[in-house]
Amino acid sequence: MDRNFGSHSGMQKPPSNPQSNPFGNAFYGGPGSGLIREGLSSYGGRFLGSSSEFMQSNISSYFSDPQYYFQVNGQYVRNKLKIILCPFLYRGHWTRISEPMGGRISYKPPISDVNAPDLYIPLMSFGTYLVLAGFSLGLCGKFSPDALTLQFSKGLIGWLLQILLLKGLIYSAGGGGEAALLDVVAYAGYAFAGAAIAVGARIFSRHAFYLVLPFAGLCGGVFLVKTMKRIVFSGGRSYDHGGRLNYLLLSLVAAQFPLLLWLGNVCR
């Protein structure tokens, strides 16, 4: 009776084998799954490769490898300090030594080139400046954690102002693409070598401070002028507005004196 009712009512039973999804077979075990996976992986590899090359080429133009700036030795530090503190006696060239690497031009590290920028001397000079400033504050009877923190903040602000000054000069002279950001940070930080000497002179005598300060400012300014001229004229490029460049470089030298005076005036 049940069999007759099912046959007379016209109802159909669901198929025992449901129709398979062609897209599912294509991705999961179907005949075209291998081709699709290979195409997606190839496209993804090309996309990731081009993206990494784009990021590397653009980031490297602004940032360099930080380890590069710490490849120094004792001989480099001594020679570099001589150039920074007394550039008049330096008889060598101011051009950095380049070498081809990976289809592009790169520069030798500081350990192999005295004209290469480094971050070891700026950081050590900054630390020495803070230690001498704290010692000077102690002699003046004004030492406190807050006073030392204020001096630390003054140092960072002075470093930042020097960076902005150098970047502005390079941009105004049309050489903005020739110096990485860490290069400019290193060049700006060399000012603390003169600032540390000025603060050390102040510990002995106030008159010694005002004698050492102009000399340190002049030497630091001459060093920066030589360095900025190399960056501006790098790549064989000529600068048409020579008078304007001279005024920019002169303003760079003049800015070193109030900067060192502000940084070195610890006991007010």
Predicted confidence (pLDDT) per residue in 65-95, tens digit: 889 999 999 999 999 999 999 999 999 889 8
Question: Is 220 within the bounds of a domain?
Answer: yes
Q: CA-CA distance, 222 to 227, in Å (whole number)?
A: 9
What's the confidence (pLDDT) of residue 51? 43
Question: Is 88 within the bounds of a domain?
Answer: no
**Closest CA relative to residue 221, chosen from 174, 260, 266, 170:** 260
What's the confidence (pLDDT) of residue 63? 54
Are 258 and 159 part of one and the same domain? yes
Question: Is 212 within the bounds of a domain?
Answer: yes
Are 234 and 131 part of one and the same domain? yes
Q: CA-CA distance, 87 to 252, in Å (whole number)?
A: 16
Helix axes 191-204, 206-232, angle to 10 degrees: 170
Three-state secondary-structure class, residue 104: strand
Q: Which two tokens stand for residue 181?
A: 């950001």
Cα distances from 36 to residues 26, 47, 50, 146, 166, in angstroms, run: 8, 16, 21, 65, 54
Are 141 and 46 part of one and the same domain? no
Are 54 and 120 part of one and the same domain? no
Helix axes 145-172, 206-232, angle to 10 degrees: 30
Are 145 and 56 part of one and the same domain? no
What's the confidence (pLDDT) of residue 7? 45
Question: Is 140 within the bounds of a domain?
Answer: yes
Query: What is the number of alpha carbons within 13 Å of residue 104 lying toward its C-beta?
Result: 6
Q: What are the two backbone dihedrals, phi and then psi, of residue 104, each rounded to the nearest 5 degrees?
A: -140, 165
**Closest CA relative to residue 253, chosen from 220, 214, 230, 227:** 220
Are 42 and 135 part of one and the same domain? no
Q: CA-CA distance, 183 to 163, in Å (whole number)?
A: 10
Cα distances from 149 to residues 129, 139, 249, in angstroms, run: 13, 17, 33
Number of domains forming the structure of the chain: 2
What's the confidence (pLDDT) of residue 244? 81
For the whole model, what pTM was predicted? 0.76
Residue 113: count of CB within 10 angstroms of its CB: 16
Task: Enumerate residue ranges in the chain where pLDDT < 70.
Answer: 1-64, 103, 175-178, 235-242
Are 41 and 139 part of one and the same domain? no
Are 154 and 221 part of one and the same domain? yes
Question: Is 84 within the bounds of a domain?
Answer: no
- For the chain, the distance separating the N- and C-terminal CA atoms, rounded to the nearest angstrom, is 114
What's the confidence (pLDDT) of residue 121? 98
Q: Which two tokens stand for residue 9?
A: 């009512």
Domain that holds residue 134: 116-264
